[in-house]
Amino acid sequence: MQPKNSLDYHKVFSKIGSQLEHTDNLGEVASYIPELFNVDPKKFGIHLSTVENRHFDYGDSKERFSIQSISKVLSLSMAFKLEGTALWERVGVEPSGNAFNSLSQLELECGIPRNPFINAGALLICDVLVSHLTNPKEEFIDFVRALVGKDNINYCERIALSEKEHGFRNAAMVNFMKSYGNIKNDVEEVLDFYFNLCSIEMSCAELSQAMMYLCSNGINPLTNEEVVTPSRAKRINAIMQLCGFYDEAGEFSFKVGLPGKSGVGGGIIAIHPKKYSIAIWSPRLNEKGNSYRGMKILEFITTQTKSSIF
Amino acid sequence: MQPKNSLDYHKVFSKIGSQLEHTDNLGEVASYIPELFNVDPKKFGIHLSTVENRHFDYGDSKERFSIQSISKVLSLSMAFKLEGTALWERVGVEPSGNAFNSLSQLELECGIPRNPFINAGALLICDVLVSHLTNPKEEFIDFVRALVGKDNINYCERIALSEKEHGFRNAAMVNFMKSYGNIKNDVEEVLDFYFNLCSIEMSCAELSQAMMYLCSNGINPLTNEEVVTPSRAKRINAIMQLCGFYDEAGEFSFKVGLPGKSGVGGGIIAIHPKKYSIAIWSPRLNEKGNSYRGMKILEFITTQTKSSIF
Amino acid sequence: MQPKNSLDYHKVFSKIGSQLEHTDNLGEVASYIPELFNVDPKKFGIHLSTVENRHFDYGDSKERFSIQSISKVLSLSMAFKLEGTALWERVGVEPSGNAFNSLSQLELECGIPRNPFINAGALLICDVLVSHLTNPKEEFIDFVRALVGKDNINYCERIALSEKEHGFRNAAMVNFMKSYGNIKNDVEEVLDFYFNLCSIEMSCAELSQAMMYLCSNGINPLTNEEVVTPSRAKRINAIMQLCGFYDEAGEFSFKVGLPGKSGVGGGIIAIHPKKYSIAIWSPRLNEKGNSYRGMKILEFITTQTKSSIF
Amino acid sequence: MQPKNSLDYHKVFSKIGSQLEHTDNLGEVASYIPELFNVDPKKFGIHLSTVENRHFDYGDSKERFSIQSISKVLSLSMAFKLEGTALWERVGVEPSGNAFNSLSQLELECGIPRNPFINAGALLICDVLVSHLTNPKEEFIDFVRALVGKDNINYCERIALSEKEHGFRNAAMVNFMKSYGNIKNDVEEVLDFYFNLCSIEMSCAELSQAMMYLCSNGINPLTNEEVVTPSRAKRINAIMQLCGFYDEAGEFSFKVGLPGKSGVGGGIIAIHPKKYSIAIWSPRLNEKGNSYRGMKILEFITTQTKSSIF
């Protein structure tokens, strides 16, 4: 089955160029910070890595971009490993049915975020990591570097600073959860860590490599070390499936049919469990804040390769 | 791979009895209508049907019960076939993040239900069917009978009547959607059809057979006729994954890892695409309205057979 | 003090004509039923009745119009008399902070409307009256006729019918409250009574007369009979102050400074306790559904006569 | 009329002692900061000041307590004077229909608080004052001292500090409003000013004196200086009527029938325009956060003196 699939990928990737010509590049680049707004909206990269260590790519797949919320998959994984199932007493696993940065639902549910991928949940995860780690920023970036297999993956200080300057809504959320007793550490420290997480830069090639543990039973294929247990890898995939695209999780499941996670930098990662990890980048976002072209091309690829999980 | 899996199922099913002995039978039988309240809470049935037409069962798997909301998968399939993608202009595919019978979100979203499985969405689907069918009740039950391969599948008039007598909230929803122009037919007719759908009775064996088209590319294996296109079968599975368990969709995805749908009669159906359909019945419901033991035993089975889609 | 005030009213009324010339006639006539939409938007009437039985009027003050929600003050008064303080177990006295026809808040508060003037509350009041009265429609119109002192005050059948044909949202509310057990009678009977109440037609002169009991310690000055106790008259005024203008109660209190109630027919009634009742009519409505010119001219009058209660 | 009323007040005040004996002292003292929690729950003081400069008091009327949110009337008055009607572009005048510290409604209305008395609105008013004043804390306390006629009215540093340590929800609100651009100054500066405002201590006698401008056409009777224009005094009274008791504004209007404002320290101020100002203090709070006995005794007094504005 593998050779057949690999051939399929090759064939499908050879069609991406002409497919792109027929795909509008609609939507808007994220504009709330200049570092995102100034990115060339015509950039497009994609990289697929299989469990047999085969690789397929197209376009700007080696250029680094701001992965933004995609890093929430990595921070969740690390927090799940460190905190175990006690984590689910402080954050849910249910889709939110609301915008990613809504405070209303957080109020209704007394400071327990619905899931780890809405902003409130990701901030909560940062609080968990701050509790467990001595040097949160260093230890987290080391964790990420081990997944990519490169020492030069870094936070972007400029972006982290810009995020902070526009981060009043996130500050509102941390303070709000702290008022419910669901944040244990200093508000500023949690926010600082969060804004840094969002600032990590990777290329599609690096990103798809970093996520390989989620299609490999929790094992980092570069080191054969267990990132999370097989059962937890499945669960992280399940959470991505239900909550990875904010208010468009259903649409993504419906059209692409894979667990995935997007970021406002225009990146998307998707996982076919046991088969492949795929990263895509196109900066223009649709109304829900997900990459316009990224969604379209992933739909094209999973349709062509018949590789939905459903 | 098939023989191995089949053997696995056999082995796992042989353990269900002792597993049940170690599983509490907590929760409460649905009490809003006497027909559900008077069911023996100790009933337990399960039936798994594979795409190779192998069958595994346990307990009261041949006893009929009220499938309730599970019928919404069938009505959605029929409406999708008849209305096509225009359907999605009138109902969404996003998880609701709210209780199954909430009106607040319906108000926020101007009468467009979030998905076809919350009550409002299922009522909307009934309206679509009423528009397309000459004799909605007859044509729908014929559609279901063809899936099961039995002529004696029926509505339960007594239950339909009871539902109606307690159906003010559903009446509120239809009227509310009609006030937004999103219900095209007579309110009473839509409600009558809906209450009948909820009253259908089947056994686990019949239910798992009825749903086989969702693990067989949309084909009814009894007749080789296409119920829905392969692509639409996938999409219905995707919607079940995200929206099939009301406010517990994440929990079910997290623990069971399969697309599924529950009913307040205590039934659950789950689909492993391309592999099997499984129906389970245990009347006591947890706080979210899903079968307490049904969830537990399905988790046991997918863990033992390692058959999550993630 | 009375002669001085009376003179003031005379003087102020003599200025209304020129004031109107300087007041835009913005907004839109209610359009959801033809009977309201077809009213001449240039109509303008006003009538002030004092506790000394002096009267001041201007314009189309003797022409009848659809008083719509203003009748909710009358139905509340009758229900308060019949049911007593037990009424407040089924409906609150708090402003809603939401649109007049919102279902979200009703859900949040489990079927107990916030106050008797939002639609849900007025429907609840109708249910109370239906429980107490043998012939609700006859007995209620007789109650109103006694307040006006005229036998020919009537429901408008045409309007009641039109309201019913567009009344799905109100039907949703009654069904919704009934699902919480807070409606005791048949849904259709409550709705029919409600739509009739909304259809009553009066002139400004008749309306200001009808409301005199609210500035006369609960006494109908025409008959010297007690409509409600003095204490209840005050309380109805308090509810009007806080809840009489839907989502614009603050604005009306802020600018006009009197308890009052508006209707989508363009009528407004306002009460200066112990002093006067004033009715005004101008069909064009502002964005909140209250008479645009009505609000403006009442503000002019209370400013000129310095007759705010604050 | 004045002598008669004054006599009435005398007579009513002579009955307060025996009335208290028949009034439960239910509810709980505010417990979120130790300075409030440690107050003797049996304390009870009341002071009524008339426009003729007559005074009536009872109990601990000369003992200072933490006036908490009552100071929001004073800060609103100062902001209204400084900013004028432009103020209403940044804060509404409508009752909230929600708890005093809800963020949901703030989200729904895009960072514009419903009124100046819910927490978000009061924080907004602080931001306005910080924009206008060179030394906000000094200038504000001087403003208050002039109203009381005493130089030793002060902030309580200990309470301000305690408020800050428990002020995460307020911090959430300021950050949230700043994310909408509706806070112009530094978050910490606004919060610091706000926590100080809440810490002011006064006795009932001082408080009723301080508020006399609201029953005297905006004039401070001690200095004959205009605090706010007569029209603005009325409007502040109107806002108190509709929004002064959080989610119990209707209940207070209904039972007491005067504009007023409460604080979690157990104080309440009520205004009879043109007649009197009354301050009451009893630390135990009902479920809505308003003084249990304060509400009861004010109801007794306005009923006995027939001095509702309605």
pLDDT tens sequence across C249-291? 899 998 999 999 999 999 999 999 999 999 999 999 999 999 9
3-state class (DSSP) for residue B28: strand
Find the CB nearest A172 among D102, D104, D172: D172
Of residues B92, B234, B308, nearest to A310 (C-beta): B234
pLDDT above 70 covers a percentage of chain C that reads 98
D39 part of contact set with chain C, CB < 8 Å:
no
Which chains are within 8 Å of B by 3+ CB pairs?
A, C
Q: Is the ipTM of this complex over 0.90?
A: yes
| β-pair type (C201-202, D28-29) | unpaired
C244 pLDDT higher than 60 = yes
All residues of chain B having their beta carbon less than 8 Å from the beta carbon of residue C179 are 168-169, 172
Domain at C70-198, CATH from 1.10.3720.10, 3.40.50.720, 3.40.710.10, 3.30.450.80: 3.40.710.10
Give yes or no for residue C115 having a pLDDT over 80: yes
**What's the pLDDT score for residue D5?**
53
Q: Which residue has the tokens 């976002």?
A: A285
Confidence of residue A7 (pLDDT cuts 50, 70, 90): low
Residue C7, pLDDT > 80, answer no
| Whole-angstrom distance, CA of residue C70 vs CA of residue C267 | 8
Residue C174: name the closest of C126, C141, C207, C206 by CA: C126
CB contacts of C105 in chain D (<8 Å) are: 97
Pick C2-68+202-304's CATH classification: 3.40.120.10, 3.30.413.10, 3.40.50.720, 3.40.710.10.
3.40.710.10
C115 neighbourhood in chain D, CB within 8 Å: 250
* Structural contact between residues B97 and B104, judged by C-beta atoms closer than 8 angstroms: no
Contact C187 B171 (CB under 8 A): yes
- For residue B157, count other CB atoms closer than 10 A to its CB: 10
**Locate tokens 């987290």: which residue?**
A140
What six digits make up the tokens of B309? Answer: 């889609």
**Residue C70 in contact with residue C207, Cβ under 8 Å?**
yes
As a whole number, mean pLDDT of residues A3-20 equals 83
Cα(D237)–Cα(C255) distance, rounded to whole angstroms?
11
Quote the pLDDT of residue C4: 52
- Judged by phi (left if over 0) then psi (alpha if -120 to 50, else beta), residue A266 lies in left
pLDDT of C97 > 80? The answer is no
Among A94, A253, A303, whose Cβ lies nearest the Cβ of B238?
A253
Nearest CA in chain D to A104: D104
Please check the confidence at residue A3 and state whether its pLDDT lies above 70: no
For residue B14, pLDDT over 60 is answered with: yes
Indicate yes or no: CB of A95 within 8 angstroms of CB of B250.
yes
Poorest-confidence range of A174-183, C20-29, C92-101, D137-146?
C92-101
Average pLDDT, chain A: 94
Contacts 24+ apart (CB under 8 A), B5-10: B5/B50, B5/B275, B5/B305, B5/B307, B6/B50, B6/B52, B6/B54, B8/B304, B8/B305, B9/B48, B9/B50, B9/B54, B9/B56, B9/B276, B9/B305, B10/B56
Quick one: A165 exposed, middle or buried, by C-beta within 10 A (0-12, 13-18, 19+)? exposed
D259: which 2 tokens? 């504009």
Cα–Cα distances (Å) from A174 to A182, A246, A269, in that order, read 9, 19, 27
Please give the pLDDT value at position D97: 74
Q: Where are the beta strands (DSSP E) in D144-266?
A: 201-202, 219-220, 225-226, 260-262
Give the best residue of C89, C93, C94 to mutate against chain D (max D CB count within 10 A): C94
For D251-271, write each residue's pLDDT tens digit.
999 899 999 999 999 999 999
**pLDDT, tens digit (0-9, with 9 covering 90-100), for A89-99:** 999 999 987 77
Q: Tell me: the pLDDT tens digits for B154-205?
A: 999 999 999 999 999 999 999 999 999 999 999 999 999 999 999 999 999 9
- Chains with at least 3 CB pairs less than 8 angstroms from chain D: A, C
Go through B165-196 and write b for each residue having 16 or more CB atoms within 10 A of its CB, e for each that does not. eebbbbbbbbbbbbbeebbebebeebbbbbbb
Domain boundaries, chain A: 2-304
Tell if the CB–CB gap between C107 and B103 is shorter than 8 Å: yes
Give me the residue label for tokens 């913005």: C26
> Which segments within chain C are labelled E, that is strand?
28-29, 45-50, 55-59, 65-66, 201-202, 219-220, 225-226, 260-262, 267-272, 276-281, 284-285
Instruction: Return d(Cα B96, Cα B176) in angstroms, integer.
Output: 17
Q: Which of A95, A238, A303 sits opposite B257 (nearest CB)?
A: A238
Choose among D239, D276, D283: nearest CA to D261.
D239
- Picking from A117, A206, A192, the residue whose alpha carbon sits closest to that of residue A160 is A192
- pLDDT at res. A246: 80
Taking the Cβ of residue A99 and every Cβ of chain D, the question of whether any pair is shorter than 8 Å is answered with no
Query: Tens of pLDDT along B241-255?
Result: 999 997 888 999 989
pLDDT at D3 > cutoff 50: no
**Residue D4: band (very low, low, confident or very high) from pLDDT cuts 50, 70, 90:** low
Are the beta carbons of D239 and C251 separated by less than 8 Å? no
| Cβ distance of A242 and B239 shorter than 8 Å | no
Read off the amino acid at residue A192.
Answer: D
What pLDDT is attached to residue D1?
Answer: 40
Closest C-alpha to B177, from B229, B104, B111, B236:
B111
State how far the Cα of D27 lies from the Cα of C130, in Å rounded to an integer: 38
Element (H, E) at D284: strand D284-285
- Rounded distance, CA A21 to CA A1, Å? 31
pLDDT value for A309: 94
Token pair 């900013």 is found at D83
Name which of A104, A106, A172 is nearest D175 (Cβ-Cβ). A172
Facing residue for B169 by CB, picked from C108, C171, C179? C179
Q: Is any Cβ of chain C less than 8 angstroms from the Cβ of D310?
A: yes
* The pLDDT of residue B4: 52
Distance separating alpha carbons of residues D143 and D79, to the nearest angstrom: 11
Chain C interface includes B99 (CB < 8 A): no
pLDDT digits (tens, 9 = 90+) for B256-285: 999 999 999 999 999 999 999 999 999 999
Measured between beta carbons, the chain B residues lying within 8 angstroms of A273 are: 309-310
Tokens of D207: 């408080």
So what's the pLDDT on residue A2?
Answer: 45
Residues C278 and C47 sit within 8 Å (Cβ to Cβ): yes
- Measured between CA atoms, how close is A256 to chain B, in angstroms? 9
What is the tens place of the pLDDT at every residue in B100-123? 788 888 998 899 999 999 999 999
pLDDT confidence tier of residue B98, bands split at 50, 70 and 90:
confident
Closest listed residue to residue A255, CA positions, set A301, A291, A207: A301
Smallest CA–CA distance, residue D110 to chain A, in Å, is 11
Mean pLDDT within B37-63: 97
In chain B, the residue whose alpha carbon lies closest to the alpha carbon of A214 is: B310
pLDDT at A1 over 70: no
And the tokens for C57? 């009027």
| Whole-number percent of chain D with pLDDT over 70 | 98
Residues of D in contact with A169 (CB under 8 A): 175-176, 179
CB contact B229 to A (< 8 Å): no
D185 touches chain A (CB under 8 A): no
Q: Does C7 touch chain B (CB under 8 A)?
A: no
pLDDT at C175 over 60: yes
Residues listed for chain B: 310
User: pLDDT value at position C286?
Assistant: 96
For chain B, report the end-to-end CA distance as a whole number of angstroms.
18
Average pLDDT over residues D200-205: 98
**For chain A, what is the radius of gyration of the CA atoms?**
18
Provide the terminal-to-terminal Cα distance of chain C, rounded to the nearest Å.
18
Q: Does A241 touch chain B (CB under 8 A)?
A: yes
Look up residue A246 and give its amino acid. Y
DSSP B180: T
Nearest CA in chain D to A165: D179
Contacts of C108 in chain B (CB under 8 A): 104
Cα(A156)–Cα(A172) distance, integer angstroms: 23
Cβ-defined contact of C235 to D242 (cutoff 8 Å): no
Tell me how close the Cα of D211 comes to any Cα of chain C, in angstroms. 14
Above 70 in pLDDT, residue A4?
A: no
Exposure on the CB side of residue B135, measured as CA atoms within 13 A: 5
Kindly state whether D31 is in contact with chain A, defined as any CB-CB distance less than 8 angstroms.
no
According to DSSP, residue B23 is labeled S
C-contacting chains (≥3 CB pairs under 8 Å): B, D
Q: pLDDT band for position D2 (50/70/90)?
A: very low
Q: What is the mean predicted confidence (pLDDT) over D286-291?
A: 94
pLDDT in tens, D139-171: 999 999 999 999 999 999 999 999 999 999 999
Q: Could you give the CA distance from residue B93 to residue D220 in angstroms, rounded to a whole number?
A: 62
Residue with tokens 């604005």: C251
| Residue-wise pLDDT tens digits, B118-149 | 999 999 999 999 999 999 999 999 999 999 99
Could you tell me the end-to-end alpha-carbon distance of chain D, in angstroms, rounded to an integer? 18
pLDDT at D190 over 90: yes
Q: What is the mean pLDDT of residues A178-200?
A: 98
Query: Phi, psi (5° rounding) for residue A56?
Result: -135, 130
Interchain CB contact of A114 with B (< 8 Å): yes
CB distance from D107 to chain C under 8 Å?
no
Q: Does residue C99 have a pLDDT over 90?
A: no
Q: Write a three-state SS string for D108-165.
A: HCCCCCCCCCCHHHHHHHHHHHHHHCCCHHHHHHHHHHHHHCCCCCECCHHHHHHHHH
- pLDDT (0 to 100) of residue D102: 84
pLDDT higher than 90, residue C3: no
Contacts of residue D169 in chain A, CB cutoff 8 Å?
175-176, 179
Contacts of A242 in chain B (CB under 8 A): 95, 241-242, 249-250, 253
Specify the CATH superfamily of domain A2-304: DD-peptidase/beta-lactamase superfamily (3.40.710.10)
Nearest CA in chain D to C218: D310
